């Protein structure tokens, strides 16, 4: 949490403080010789939103500068109420106090009794552990008007009431965590069912040779299916460009880290087959070859035409021509 060391006269109090609580705080700070948290105040008015007892300590000890974390009190993410449960309410009328009332009372010096307000911030109040010798000191101030005249028993009763609020917060948090945990379990089950509901796709081809266009096409297809089976056709021509074994090895090498990709060999010519014998089990056939799609539809195989893959700057035909060392037409 960012803070600045600023002149204490830039701050104005919003609430009075408890005498015994102040005394105990004084002893703790004097013993440790450092301040643990910065005061939180409105940048525009200087109104102290958190740290009233620390503010009075600094005044009483004659400190001229103090650590302050400035905020914009008009920020809708900063809210105020009179009970910890009011962090869940937004509109004034359900929280017992408004920001405007707080600003007006602070500017007029019409202070609230101790711990009347509960301010809620969109950040955590982080410890700063600032040594006191880094703050400037001046003359001791009279703080009598800032300390409420109450018996310690009243302070104890107030603390016990505050503890009840905190216990209620704990219960809300525990219930919320339970609800979130149940939601997480539900979503995990739903996601698992959704993943399982995706079919298995079969993507046959010669891949002669495998190129970036093939890879990009496969990567675009992959998220839509639970599994993708890449079928390498056995009728790939044997030439000095590549062969079936090299194609399968290349594809296996690239997709070895994909647990939902399988490479298989298609024996014979796919479009000459009269049944599905020798083919893997799949739900849909994907191809950029319209002849393959027509063959699939002929045998009532669910099929989808995908855009034909292209290599980098050229098509597979041109890649083969280059690799053969022949001039392209």
- Residue 169 sits in which domain range? 151-195
Task: Please check whether residues 144 and 166 belong to one and the same domain.
Answer: no
| Each residue's pLDDT tens digit, 139-189 | 899 999 999 999 999 999 999 999 999 999 999 999 999 999 999 999 999
From CA 61, how far away is CA 139, in angstroms rounded? 8
Task: Please check whether residues 88 and 55 belong to one and the same domain.
Answer: yes
pLDDT, mean over the chain = 90
Q: What percent of the chain has pLDDT over 70?
A: 91
**Does 267 map to a domain?**
yes
**Does 238 map to a domain?**
yes
Whole-number pLDDT of residue 93: 62
Task: Please check whether residues 28 and 109 belong to one and the same domain.
Answer: yes
CB 63 within 8 A of CB 140: no
Task: Please check whether residues 35 and 126 belong to one and the same domain.
Answer: yes
Q: Where are the beta strands (DSSP E) in the chain?
A: 4-7, 34-35, 39-42, 48-50, 65-71, 79-81, 118-120, 130-131, 200-205, 227-233, 261-266, 284-287, 303-305
For residues 46-69, average pLDDT:
98
| Each residue's pLDDT tens digit, 5-56 | 999 999 999 999 999 999 999 999 999 999 999 999 999 999 999 999 999 9
CB 39 within 8 A of CB 54: yes
**CATH number of the domain encompassing residue 92:** 3.90.1530.10
Whole-number pLDDT of residue 90: 66
Task: Please check whether residues 233 and 166 belong to one and the same domain.
Answer: no
Confidence of residue 327 (pLDDT cuts 50, 70, 90): very low
Task: Please check whether residues 291 and 259 belong to one and the same domain.
Answer: yes
| Each residue's pLDDT tens digit, 257-305 | 999 999 999 998 999 998 888 899 999 999 999 999 999 999 999 999 9
For residues 89-107, average pLDDT:
84
**Does 235 map to a domain?**
yes
Task: Please check whether residues 141 and 157 belong to one and the same domain.
Answer: no
Domain count, the chain: 3
Task: Please check whether residues 114 and 183 belong to one and the same domain.
Answer: no
**Does 328 map to a domain?**
no
Whole-number pLDDT of residue 185: 95
Whole-number pLDDT of residue 96: 86
Whole-number pLDDT of residue 89: 74
CB 56 within 8 A of CB 39: no
From CA 124, how far away is CA 174, in angstroms rounded? 19
CB 35 within 8 A of CB 126: no
**Does 36 map to a domain?**
yes
**Which of helix, strand or coil describes residue 46?**
coil
For residues 315-323, average pLDDT:
54
């Amino acid at each position: 949490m960012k803070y600045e060391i600023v002149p204490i006269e830039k701050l104005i109090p919003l609430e009075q403080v408890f005498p015994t609580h102040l005394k105990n705080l004084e002893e703790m700070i004097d013993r440790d010789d450092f301040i643990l948290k910065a005061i939180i105040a409105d940048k525009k008015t200087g109104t102290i939103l958190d740290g009233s007892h620390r503010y009075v300590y600094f005044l009483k000890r004659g400190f001229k500068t103090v650590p302050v974390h400035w905020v914009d009190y008009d920020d809708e993410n900063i809210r105020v109420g009179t009970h910890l449960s009011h962090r869940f309410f937004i509109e004034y009328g359900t929280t017992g106090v408004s920001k405007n009332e707080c600003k007006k009372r602070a500017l007029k010096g019409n202070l609230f009794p101790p711990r009347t307000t509960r301010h809620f911030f969109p950040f955590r109040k982080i410890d700063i552990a600032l040594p006191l010798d880094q703050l400037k000191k001046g003359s001791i101030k009279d703080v009598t008007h800032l300390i409420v005249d109450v018996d310690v028993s009243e302070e104890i009763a107030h603390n016990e009431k505050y503890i009840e609020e905190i216990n209620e917060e704990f219960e809300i948090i525990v219930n919320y965590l339970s609800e979130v945990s149940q939601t997480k379990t539900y979503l995990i089950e739903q996601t698992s069912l959704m993943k399982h509901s995706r079919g298995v796709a079969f993507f046959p081809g010669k891949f002669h040779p495998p190129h970036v266009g093939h890879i990009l096409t496969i990567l675009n297809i992959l998220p839509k299916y639970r599994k993708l089976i890449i079928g390498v056709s056995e009728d790939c021509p044997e030439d000095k460009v590549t062969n079936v074994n090299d194609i399968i090895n290349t594809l296996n090498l690239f997709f070895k880290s994909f647990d939902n990709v399988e490479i298989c060999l298609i024996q014979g010519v796919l479009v000459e087959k009269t049944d599905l014998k020798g083919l893997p089990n799949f739900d849909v056939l994907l191809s950029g070859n319209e002849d393959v799609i027509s063959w699939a539809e002929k045998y009532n195989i669910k099929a989808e035409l995908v855009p034909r893959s292209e290599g980098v700057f050229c098509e597979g035909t041109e890649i083969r021509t280059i690799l053969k060392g022949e001039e392209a037409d």
